[in-house]
């Protein structure tokens, strides 16, 4: 450590500067304590300048208890020291302490400046206290600080991250009043609309933005994907490529789920190659998204290759691979991988357990599935659903019904639907009637449930029940949810929905289907049963 100043022969300013330099060179708490001890020996413990430096050094080392000691020993802390302590709390997740200190600052009539309020507003946002944030906004106006760019961006961020459309409206008011809007301001508002699924507003802002950044493109892609607009997400990604903007790892993680949902395997492979060329495969999130994309697109070989080559695997990695194997009927491999995970240092979570329970259900591994379920501390409703499916597939319909009745939370439509499906397979008309009754309460407009029950009655020879259900469907004007499929051609995804005849290629597609049906010797496909939407 550098030589400390001694009393005599040094001016006050020289001693402060020397000790400040020593603080900057400190490697840990023990060295900071030595500098602090020298401050006390030289009667500099009341120096706001040195106390501020010491608090910031403590904050960087996450030594908040010591920072509090330093702050408490200064009799007259000034604005800079208050700011340093509030900032220290903010950076170390002490948001409630930051707000309490700001209140103390006001009570002591210490003047706040443009560096005070950003951290106070961050604390309001982190604690979901928009009403308090509005009061702080009033303070910035009172002190004439509301037009400072750093304060404006903090206000915008606080309102934008708060729940409630009225608060987003307040964010827009702040945005509209800004004399100069930087990329941070535009991205904050675009992201706020995108998180709420308001993609029309997000897209309008995006188009108005003078200079789009990677964050802007990523926010729009992520927003479309989260709102179910997977084709729109891919289109924005294509636009991003044409614009010359270079995607980062967050962009890839945002667009890969859209590829997975649409089955856009070739686009997913291109993204994989792009990630490899740009050294992004070291990012665990990117690798996880690729594993999930390959699994959902049906390429388990590539998914497993990606999984095996990952430099680091977290619980998401294991869950994605186990879930992919389970979804494609590779139950034995899924259970084997789950056992390998158990002996690793990664603890399975609810998603992992859901995947392996699903695998057990599809493979008929009833005992193994029940063993895994029994090991769970707090199973969720979706885990109960898997166990009901597991028991139902194995023919234990009454046991599955008992499981539903003993659940700590009400069963949802998916669980009752699973039980109804099992009843149809194993011919349990009595339990089927109970399941259908519950389903009609939860999904009164879905005709599919009545159709399932009708099939159970038909298999049992109860034609009176079949007739009654058909009348029920007609009287309620029920409709069955149309089937949907998609195909990727030339990096464009075409979606086909039953009952729709949209698109210029409909006639040609119908003709090919009729030809294929005749060649297969089966019944001709009704052209009105499919449609092109996309």
- Secondary structure letter of residue 110 according to DSSP: P
pLDDT in tens, 77-92: 999 999 999 999 999 9
Mean pLDDT score, 282-288: 96
Q: Which of 32-41, 191-200, 424-433 has the highest mean pLDDT?
A: 191-200
Confidence grade of residue 446 (pLDDT, cut at 50, 70, 90): low
Q: Which of 65-74, 381-390, 442-451, 483-492 has the lowest mean pLDDT?
A: 483-492
Identify the CA nearest to 284 among candidates 310, 260, 308: 310
How far, in whole angstroms, is CA 102 from its chain's centroid? 32
pLDDT at 502: 56
User: pLDDT confidence of 165, banded at 50, 70, 90?
Assistant: confident
Report percent pLDDT > 90 for the chain. Answer: 60
CB 401 within 8 A of CB 434: yes
Structure-token pair, residue 93: 């997740």
Cα 107 to Cα 99, 103, 114: the distances in Å are 13, 6, 18
| 224 or 22, higher pLDDT | 224
**What's the pLDDT score for residue 203?**
96
pLDDT value for 531: 43
- In the DSSP assignment, the letter for residue 210 is S
Where residue 45 falls among pLDDT bands split at 50, 70, 90? Answer: confident
Q: Give the integer Cα–Cα distance in Å for 278 and 257.
A: 20
**155 in Cβ contact with 138 (< 8 Å):** no
12 φψ region: left (φ > 0), alpha (ψ -120 to 50), beta (else): alpha
Output the average pLDDT for the chain. 86
Nearest to 503 by CA among 473, 534, 527: 534
β partners of residue 532: 496
Q: What pLDDT is stored for residue 500 in this prediction?
A: 61
Q: Which residues pair with residue 82 across a beta bridge?
A: none
Mind listing the domains of the chain with CATH numbers? 213-307 (1.25.40), 379-481 (1.25.40.10), 484-529 (no CATH)
Return the ∠ at Cα 388 (arms to 257 and 479), rounded to 5°: 65
**Nearest in space to 415 (alpha carbons), one of 447, 433, 444, 438:** 438
In angstroms, the CA 112 to CA 145 distance is 9
CA distance 150 to 121: 11
pLDDT at position 472 is 65
Bridge partners, residue 497, by sequence: 484
Measured CA to CA, the distance from residue 141 to residue 234 in angstroms comes to: 43
The reported pLDDT for the residue numbered 506 is 67
Residues 11-20: what's their mean pLDDT? 82
- Range of lowest pLDDT (30-39, 181-190, 311-320): 30-39
Give residue 483's pLDDT. 59
Does the pLDDT value for residue 271 go beyond 90? Answer: yes
Distance, in Å, from the CA atom of 197 to the CA atom of 168, rounded to the nearest integer, reads: 13
**What pLDDT does residue 441 have?**
78
504-532 pLDDT per residue, tens: 666 777 777 778 877 776 444 444 444 44
* CA dist., res. 332 & res. 286, Å (int): 27
134: left (phi over 0), alpha (psi -120 to 50) or beta: alpha
Question: Pick the residue with more confidence: 500 or 209?
Answer: 209
Token code pair at residue 252: 């890839």
Q: What is the rounded average pLDDT of the residues 147-175? A: 90
Mean pLDDT of all residues in 401-418: 89
**In residues, how long is the chain?**
534
Q: Name every residue whose Cβ is closer than 8 Å to that of residue 260 and which is 6 or more positions away in sequence.
A: 268, 292, 293, 295, 296, 297
- Residue 272: in which H helix or E strand, if any? helix 265-277
């Amino acid at each position: 450590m550098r030589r400390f100043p001694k009393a005599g022969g040094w001016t006050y300013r020289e001693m402060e500067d020397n000790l400040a330099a020593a603080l900057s060179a400190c490697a840990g708490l023990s060295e900071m304590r030595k500098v602090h001890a020298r401050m006390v020996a030289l009667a500099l413990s009341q120096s706001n300048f040195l106390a501020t430096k010491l608090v910031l050094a403590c904050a960087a080392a996450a030594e908040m208890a010591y920072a509090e000691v330093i702050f408490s020993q200064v009799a007259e802390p000034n604005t800079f020291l208050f700011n340093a302590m509030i900032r220290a709390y903010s950076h170390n997740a002490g948001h409630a302490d930051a707000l309490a200190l700001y209140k103390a600052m006001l009570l002591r009539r210490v003047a706040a400046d443009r560096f005070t309020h950003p951290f106070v507003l961050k604390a309001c946002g982190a604690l979901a206290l928009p009403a308090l944030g509005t009061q702080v906004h009033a303070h910035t106006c009172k002190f004439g600080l509301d037009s400072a760019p750093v304060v404006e961006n903090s206000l915008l961020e606080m309102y934008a991250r708060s729940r409630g459309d009225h608060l987003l409206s307040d964010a827009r008011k702040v945005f509209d009043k800004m004399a100069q809007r930087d990329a941070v301001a535009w991205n904050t508002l675009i992201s706020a609309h995108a998180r709420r699924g308001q993609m029309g507003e997000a897209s309008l802002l995006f188009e108005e933005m003078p200079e789009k950044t990677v964050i802007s493109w990523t926010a729009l892609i992520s927003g479309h994907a989260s709102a179910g607009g997977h084709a729109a997400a891919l289109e924005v990604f294509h636009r991003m490529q044409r614009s010359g903007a270079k995607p980062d790892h967050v962009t890839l993680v945002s667009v890969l789920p859209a590829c997975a949902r649409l089955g856009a395997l070739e686009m997913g492979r291109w993204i994989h190659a792009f990630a490899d060329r740009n050294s992004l495969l070291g990012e665990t999130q990117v690798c996880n998204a690729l594993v999930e994309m390959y699994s959902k697109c049906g390429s388990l070989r590539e998914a497993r290759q990606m999984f095996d080559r990952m430099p680091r695997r977290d619980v998401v990695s294991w869950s994605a691979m186990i879930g992919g194997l389970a979804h494609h009927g590779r139950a034995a491999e899924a259970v084997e991988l789950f056992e390998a995970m158990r002996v690793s240092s990664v603890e399975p979570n609810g998603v992992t357990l859901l995947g392996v329970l699903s695998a057990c259900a599809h493979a008929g591994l009833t005992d193994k599935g029940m063993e895994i379920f029994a090991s769970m501390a707090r199973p969720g409703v979706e885990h109960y659903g898997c166990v009901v499916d597991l028991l139902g597939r194995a023919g234990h319909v009454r046991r599955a019904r008992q499981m539903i009745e003993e659940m700590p939370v009400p069963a949802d439509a998916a669980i009752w639907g699973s039980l109804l499906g099992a009843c149809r397979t194993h011919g349990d008309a009595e339990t089927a009637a109970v399941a259908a009754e519950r389903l009609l309460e939860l999904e009164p407009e879905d005709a599919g449930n009545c159709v399932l029950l009708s099939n159970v009655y038909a298999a049992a020879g109860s034609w009176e029940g079949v007739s009654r259900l058909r009348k029920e469907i007609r009287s309620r004007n029920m409709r069955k949810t149309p089937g949907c499929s998609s195909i990727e051609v030339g990096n464009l995804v075409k979606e086909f929905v039953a009952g729709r005849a949209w698109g210029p290629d409909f006639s040609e597609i119908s003709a090919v289907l009729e030809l294929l049906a005749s060649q297969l010797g089966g019944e001709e496909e009704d052209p009105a049963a499919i449609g092109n939407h996309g």
